[in-house]
């Protein structure tokens, strides 16, 4: 397995941190827009806020989440950290994949539906139970994402669970080989 030089690893790690920061900051921005969206009294503002949430999701969150996952994969593959040597790496992997799945199958459709309803129904969208459900889903979903991303960042910094024992690592390798 090829290894990175220290300089290469630092560049890759910097890209990983940048993608994670971009993802976290953008989801926090989406939350703030969704929070403001609950009190819209103007159809144009309602539609603009929903469109902004959708644009941030499509053009910033999705690429930064993919970038974070790809750089994390490369860091595991090309450095001594590995995929299964440390509990904190495993925890980050599970949490990152769970966030991407949640964003893909729940948060993204809620944001799209809220935008479509607000475009079609204008201010009457606030009285539509489907819009209310989707808008609340975006609000709650973005809070959950921000909290989970902050926990992932804390795990990255603190590395609380350390290295797995050699016996556990060999069991993982034999299970994945079969």
Average pLDDT along the chain: 92
Distance (Å, whole) CA 130 – CA 75: 42
pTM, two decimal places: 0.86
Average the pLDDT over 157-170 and give the result. 74
* Per-residue confidence (pLDDT) for residue 171, from 0 to 100: 65
pLDDT digits over 26-48, tens only? 999 999 999 999 888 899 999 99
Give me the residue spans of the domains in the chain. 6-170
């Amino acid at each position: 397995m090829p290894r990175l030089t220290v300089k290469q690893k630092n560049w890759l790690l910097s890209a990983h941190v940048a993608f994670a920061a971009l993802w976290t900051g953008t989801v926090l921005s989406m939350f703030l827009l969704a929070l403001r969206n609950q009190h819209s009294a103007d159809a144009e503002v309602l539609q603009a806020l929903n469109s902004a949430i959708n644009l941030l999701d499509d053009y910033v969150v999705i690429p930064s989440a993919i970038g974070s996952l790809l750089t994390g994969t490369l860091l595991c593959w090309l450095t001594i950290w590995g995929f299964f040597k440390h509990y904190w790496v495993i925890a980050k992997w599970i949490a990152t994949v769970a966030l991407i799945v949640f964003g893909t199958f729940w948060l993204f459709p809620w944001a799209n539906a809220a935008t479509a309803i607000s475009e079609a129904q204008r201010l009457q969208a606030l009285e539509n139970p489907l819009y209310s459900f989707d808008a609340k889903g975006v609000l709650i979903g973005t809070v959950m994402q921000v909290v989970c991303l902050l926990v992932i960042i804390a795990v990255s910094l603190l590395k609380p669970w350390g290295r797995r024992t050699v016996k556990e690592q060999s069991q993982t390798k034999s299970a994945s080989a079969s």
